Amino acid sequence: MPRLRTIITAAASALTLLLALPGSASAEVSGHFYYSYTDANGDHQVDLYTNQEGECTDVKEVADGDAKFAFSPLNKTTNELWVFTELTCTGDKFILAADAQGTQANKFASYYFVPPRD
């Protein structure tokens, strides 16, 4: 009987610990991210409304070779944004606060939404 009590106590403790651990927060960024790029057809603006935090993302038009770089980042999200001069979040980094805008001089090829700090 003492062995059964030990097993039940251990199982209850494990369940309590499991329920006490925080669940994973949604990794989706709230808000919109805008940027511009230039290709053979002229200037374009992109509105991205589905972004993931904690993941490096290459600017599609740069990665595809349609544009040399993106520029004028506009961060209308609740997350801090890092933009990088090279693909795969390498090169020089520029930090854009939540709800902030960069300039045409802020040329970038990839970006990263910083997860909120607890």
pLDDT, tens digit (0-9, with 9 covering 90-100), for 4-21: 565 555 455 444 433 333
Count of CB atoms within 10 A of residue 81's CB? 24
pLDDT at 24: 39
Q: Which domains does the chain have, with CATH numbers?
A: 31-113 (2.60.20.10)
Give the span between the Cα atoms of 51 and 31, in whole angstroms: 9
Phi, psi of 60 (to 5 degrees): -55, -45
Q: In this model, does residue 30 exceed pLDDT 60?
A: yes
pTM over 0.85: no
Distances in whole angstroms, Cα of residue 93 to Cα of each of 40, 50, 59, 61, 110: 27, 22, 14, 19, 10
The confidence band for 26, taking pLDDT boundaries of 50, 70 and 90, is: very low
The 10s digit of each residue's pLDDT in 35-62 is: 999 999 999 999 998 788 899 999 999 9
Is the Cβ–Cβ distance between 58 and 109 less than 8 Å?
yes
